[in-house]
């Protein structure tokens, strides 16, 4: 699917300065097509809503740097005119917008240096959009400043990366960040949302990439989330139910373990990202930060998340290293049953195993202790204060060995039985041969059977020694 993008000519902006490279290309192509500025003005004027003299002035500013200034004041050129001129003289539009140095919205003192056109739908712009939905009053075109200093810094960085470096930006008046109105127009075109960013009309998330969804959730947690250090979960709260449903859908799309939406006494809606959802979110966040840097981390809440992940890892390591009941027992058939069941079911509690395999509590408790001590299973989390177990790679390897051993034993028994049917001593039973002494165990036959030439001779010697 082609990504959405906002180009410079999609917005009502004025260009104050272009690069010398673009200026040179425009001048060369202009005079190769037109003999004079007046000829070009006559050609363009019918398609634009400007007077003949105004168009002549715009053309002059494009082809002559001296004409683009009046004293210390830089004279503006509307982007729509610049686009039309480039189309007429065959200057590529993508080359044009990458060589804009200073732009400004009309009737504004705000200057945007080195604008980042085209502005695309990416994790940083998506994160910025959800900051606007998560916090602040948008009727007055401002964003709440009730933020940690690090979060404010991240917020400004995201705007500068998305739009460009902004000069003359007054952002600390009355404890609020006044956002350039042009940002709302960009969001409206890029994400197909109303310019007011109405919380009852949240953005659609179906078309967003996985990285964009994760970055959106980062903004939501920064603004509306609380990280619980005791329950190892993240709670997200919001007054607007429609907006919270949107946040809930993001977590579902990312396949995180989450609770249902509930309403508290203060009429605030909330839901929780549970234990395994938090672990998965942390891994996704690490991968996102590798690609986009720390600008997309949780800001002042990043340390809280890292602390609970560290505590979880320490606690799980202690549980898995601890000696449990049955640690000294050897592997038996019930252990294999449990391992087989765990292989088909990713995460299980002790009660799940008791019910499905119909084993008594004490037996399951012992067997789980034996398997854990032999590192065939491990505790990977908690569910309603109960341990969740998962089979390890060693456990899967043991299952394969156990299956292979059973297949080899069956094959050898068939071989030996077939051989005995040809012997003249039918009174010697296979059971007696296999079980009477350790050296005649079925494994001994396997060693003999490897050397096929001497198998029958060695077997006869063993039988005669009985």
378: domain CATH number?
A: 1.10.10.10
**pLDDT by residue (tens digit) across 19-51?**
889 988 988 998 888 888 888 888 888 888 888
**Contact partners, residue 188, CB within 8 Å, separation at least 6:** 194, 195
pLDDT of residue 2: 45
Question: In this structure, is residue 399 part of a structural domain?
Answer: no
Co-location of 316 and 336 in the same domain: no
Task: Average the pLDDT over 333-337 and give the result.
Answer: 81
- Do both 94 and 198 map to the same domain? no
Query: Cβ(343)–Cβ(327) under 8 Å?
Result: no
| Of 219, 263, 210, residue with least CA distance to 237 | 263
Q: Are residues 27 and 132 in the same domain?
A: no
Q: Is there a single domain that holds both residue 105 and residue 14?
A: yes
Residue 406 maps to a domain: no
The answer to the question of residue 259 being in a domain is yes
The pLDDT tens digits of the residues spanning 251-279 come to 999 999 899 999 888 888 999 999 889 99
Residue 277: closest CA among 253, 257, 305: 257
Is residue 162 within 8 A of residue 124, CB to CB? The reply is yes
Give pLDDT tens digits for 148-193: 778 888 888 898 899 998 886 666 554 567 677 888 889 989 998 8
Q: Domain check: are 255 and 267 in the same one?
A: yes
| Closest by CA position to 92, among listed 105, 82, 104, 101 | 82
Distance CA 183, CA 140 (A): 14
> Which of 54, 89, 117 is at the close of a domain?
117
The answer to whether residues 151 and 286 belong to one domain is yes
* Structural domain for 185, as ranges: 121-321
pLDDT, tens digit (0-9, with 9 covering 90-100), for 439-459: 444 555 555 555 555 555 655
Number of domains in the chain: 4
Are 47 and 125 part of one and the same domain? no
Task: Using the 3D structure, point to which of 300, 321, 342 is the last residue of a domain.
Answer: 321
Domain membership of residue 64 (yes or no) is yes
One domain for residues 246 and 126:
yes
381 with 432, same domain?
Answer: no
Task: Look up the CATH number of the domain holding residue 265.
Answer: 3.10.28.10
Residues 429 and 377 in one domain: no
Same domain (yes/no): 289, 382: no
**DSSP three-state, residue 390:** strand
Q: Residue 88 and residue 221: Cα distance in Å, rounded? A: 49
Global model pTM greater than 0.85: no
208 with 191, same domain?
A: yes
């Amino acid at each position: 699917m082609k990504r959405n993008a906002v180009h410079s000519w999609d917005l009502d902006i004025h260009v104050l300065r272009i690069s010398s490279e673009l200026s040179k290309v425009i001048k060369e192509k202009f005079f190769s097509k037109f003999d004079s500025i007046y000829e070009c003005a006559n050609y363009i004027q019918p398609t634009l809503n400007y007077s003949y003299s105004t168009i002549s002035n715009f053309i002059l500013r494009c082809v002559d740097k001296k004409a683009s200034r009046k004293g210390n004041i830089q004279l503006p050129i509307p982007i729509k005119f610049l686009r039309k001129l480039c189309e007429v003289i065959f200057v590529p539009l993508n080359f044009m917008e990458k060589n804009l140095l200073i732009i400004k919205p009309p009737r504004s003192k705000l200057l945007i240096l080195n604008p980042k056109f085209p502005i695309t739908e990416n994790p940083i712009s998506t994160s910025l959009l959800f900051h606007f939905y998560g916090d602040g009053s948008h009727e007055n075109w401002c964003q709440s400043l009730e933020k940690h200093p690090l979060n404010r810094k991240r917020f400004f960085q995201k705007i500068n990366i998305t739009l460009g470096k902004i000069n003359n930006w007054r952002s600390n008046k009355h404890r609020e960040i006044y956002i350039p109105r042009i940002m709302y127009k960009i969001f409206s075109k890029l994400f197909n949302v109303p310019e007011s960013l109405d919380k009852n009309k949240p953005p659609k998330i179906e078309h967003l990439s996985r990285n964009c969804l994760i970055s959106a959730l980062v903004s939501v947690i920064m603004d509306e989330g609380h990280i619980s250090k005791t329950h190892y979960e993240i709670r997200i709260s919001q007054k607007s139910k429609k907006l919270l449903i949107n946040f809930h859908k993001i977590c579902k799309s990312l396949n995180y373990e989450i609770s249902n939406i509930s309403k508290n006494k203060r009429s605030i809606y909330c839901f929780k990202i549970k234990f395994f959802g938090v672990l998965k979110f942390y891994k996704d966040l690490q991968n996102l930060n590798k690609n986009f840097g720390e600008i997309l981390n949780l800001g002042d809440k990043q340390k809280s998340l890292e602390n609970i992940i560290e505590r979880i890892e320490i606690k799980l390591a202690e549980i898995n290293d601890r000696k449990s009941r049955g640690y000294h027992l050897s592997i038996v058939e019930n252990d294999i049953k449990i391992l087989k069941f765990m292989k088909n079911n990713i995460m299980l509690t002790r009660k799940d195993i008791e019910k499905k395999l119909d084993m008594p509590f004490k037996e399951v408790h012992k067997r789980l202790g034996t398997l854990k001590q032999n590192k065939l299973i491990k505790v990977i989390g908690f569910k309603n204060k109960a341990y969740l177990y998962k089979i390890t790679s060693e456990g899967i390897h043991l299952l394969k060995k156990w299956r292979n051993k059973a297949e080899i034993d069956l094959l050898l028994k068939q071989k030996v039985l077939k051989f005995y049917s040809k012997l003249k001593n039918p009174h010697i039973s296979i059971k007696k041969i296999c079980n009477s002494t350790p050296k005649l165990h079925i494994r001994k036959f396997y060693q003999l059977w490897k050397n096929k030439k001497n198998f029958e001779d060695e077997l006869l010697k063993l039988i005669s020694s009985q």
